[in-house]
Amino acid sequence: MKQYWVLLGSFGSGKSELVLNLALEKAKEGPCTVVDLDVINPYFRVSERGDVLEPAGVELIMPPFALDKIEILSLSPRVYSAFNPGEGSVFFDIGGDDIGSVALGQYRPRFDAIPRENLHVLFVVNPLRPTAADPESARATLDKIQYVSRMEVNGIVNNANLAGETQVEHLVQGYELVRELSRQTGIPVWGSCGTAPVLESFKQYAARHGLDQAYVGRYQPIEVMMHRSWDKFLKEGL
């Protein structure tokens, strides 16, 4: 039975990056599809990384407008093929906030037909974004997104990051936020994300300070793929 992953969250919380990383992981185990349902962003969308997804055997379903440099907010009829019975994993990358989540509403009957244990609806949180800086605003976004997307979130993801300047304290800040959000909503924490070195420091920090594993979840390493090519060279920045 196919496993379905829907990534929701505030605008700029890092959903596309997480989708890329999880899809590449799952593609090693079986068929894998990424559905780009982002109807908001003209740039920096998961479809741009067809160059890493397709060689890894990941099927990419993108809106007809993506990469065509035009704006027609229509979604590909191929999206429905992702709900066909079968094996493997399907990832839905959704535009940010409640506005982006609107794209999901029309697929409600399809999602309803998926057994709960096969449907992972993750809410990605980055407290370094001004729109999700505290539990109250994260909670408000979560409520709005659930309402508009007609989906029930069943996992919270700590994706605290400041792009290339992420430090372990940012993940700790994220931990505190998702713990509070999880306590308030009863939704479990799915995991904590970071680049390998930051994640390793966080792991040590968690052990040293006895962080509650229930609010840390799994450690999900992230390889940054949504970068701009010149970033790789610029040590001193601007």
Binding footprint of other proteins on the chain (CB under 8 A)? 11-12, 41-44, 69-71, 126, 128-130, 133, 161-165, 228-230, 232-234, 237-238
Label residue 210 exposed, middle or buried (CB < 10 Å: 0-12, 13-18, 19+): exposed
- For residue 176, how many other CB atoms are within 10 A of its CB? 17
Give the Cα separation of 41 and 185 in Å (integer). 29
What's the gap between Cα 87 and its chain centre?
Answer: 21
Q: Which is nearer to other proteins, 41 or 149 (CB)?
A: 41
Query: Shortest gap between Cβ of 191 and other proteins (angstroms)?
Result: 19
Q: Which is nearer to other proteins, 44 or 205 (CB)?
A: 44
Q: Which is nearer to other proteins, 112 or 165 (CB)?
A: 165
Q: Which is nearer to other proteins, 149 or 166 (CB)?
A: 166
186: left (phi over 0), alpha (psi -120 to 50) or beta: left
Query: Shortest gap between Cβ of 234 and other proteins (angstroms)?
Result: 6
Query: Shortest gap between Cβ of 182 and other proteins (angstroms)?
Result: 22
Give the Cα separation of 86 and 89 in Å (integer). 9
Helix axes 168-185, 135-149, angle to 10 degrees: 60
Query: Shortest gap between Cβ of 35 and other proteins (angstroms)?
Result: 22
Q: Which is nearer to other proteins, 119 or 157 (CB)?
A: 157
CA distances for 43 relative to 38, 39, 65, 68, angstroms: 10, 11, 12, 11
